[in-house]
Amino acid sequence: MNLKAWFMLVRPFTLIAPFMAVIFGIILQLAYYEELEIFWEHLGLILFAALALTAAQAAGQIMNQIEDVEIDKANRKDYRPLAKGEISIEKAQVLAWFFAIFSIIVGYTINIYYGSFMVLFIFFGILYNIEPFRLKRRLWLNTGSLAISRGLLPLPAAWSIFGNISDATPWLLGSIMAIWVLAWQNTKDINDIEGDKKFGIITPVVYHGLKKLTLIIALLSFLSFLLLAFYLQTGLLSKNMASLFLLGIPTLWMLYKLYKMDFSNITLENNELWAAFYLTLAGFYILAAASYLVEPYISLFS
């Protein structure tokens, strides 16, 4: 058995953000409720919850590769396990089902809300990848569906484990991330223009071209931070959440690279903007949690 091929099938780098979303989303929620002491008491449950969301993401990645074998070959991604023939489609389908069932069972074991979120994530994976839905083919519905599943929903899902999903904070933060993801999720398609055109996959970069898309990404990036400023100014979010503006630094670097078209492929599979997208997305959860962790100390000096 080629373990490396199975490992690469789940595209491990893309699993960092969902794992971080749960770990730091729970830290954020517990700090918000001033119940951080229970984090270590429930560490096993928290790790299983993180693995559940990670498994849902992995299932989506496998679905994508199952449906895109010929597209991957056209996009010179024949190093992927399915395109290379190292793993059969049937075996990949079994693994995708395993991850999907695992995420749902673990989710419902935790509580009905978290389980329902896992069903939603799997459902979005099906909508994006599988006919007759295949949102991947449909302009802006493709990136829009990912903005919901990877930007809006993960934090409320993590929040639901110990908190109240009707709280505004996770949804407000999720809305900021959704707009940011709507912008930068496009980085995954920059290297795939040729194959996507050939197979009728109308991504924003295929339709608008890279130059025009760069302007759209810049606008959406600005809107995400403008929305953060609005939430802070109106008191909908705590003032210490202004630390999220630090993520403007990697965003500006990414915009500069995109504008100059000065980005290179990386050994992780795609280009460096794609890697920066996932790392910065994880940064939203880390900084948000850190903001609430330091809030008591800020209050001492205010």
The domain spans of the chain are: 3-301
Structure tokens at 28: 């954020």
In this prediction the pTM is 0.91
Which amino acid makes up residue 176?
I
**Which residue has 């040729």 as its token pair?**
194
Residue 147 has pLDDT above 90, yes or no: yes
Supply the pLDDT for residue 301.
42
Which amino acid makes up residue 119?
V
At 296, the pLDDT band (50, 70, 90 cuts) reads low
Over residues 162-207, the pLDDT tens digits come to 999 999 999 999 999 999 999 999 988 888 888 888 888 899 999 9
Supply the pLDDT for residue 300.
42
Q: What is the mean pLDDT of residues 66-80?
A: 84
Residue 23 has pLDDT above 90, yes or no: yes
How many whole angstroms separate alpha carbon 196 and alpha carbon 75?
8
87 contacts 9 by C-beta, under 8 angstroms:
yes
Report DSSP letters for 130-177, one per residue. STTT-GGGSTTHHHHHHHIIIIISHHHHHHTTTS-TT-HHHHHHHHHH
Over residues 88-134, the pLDDT tens digits come to 999 999 999 999 999 999 999 999 999 999 999 999 999 999 988 89
Alpha-carbon distance values, 99 to 11, 36, 79, 118 (Å): 13, 30, 23, 11
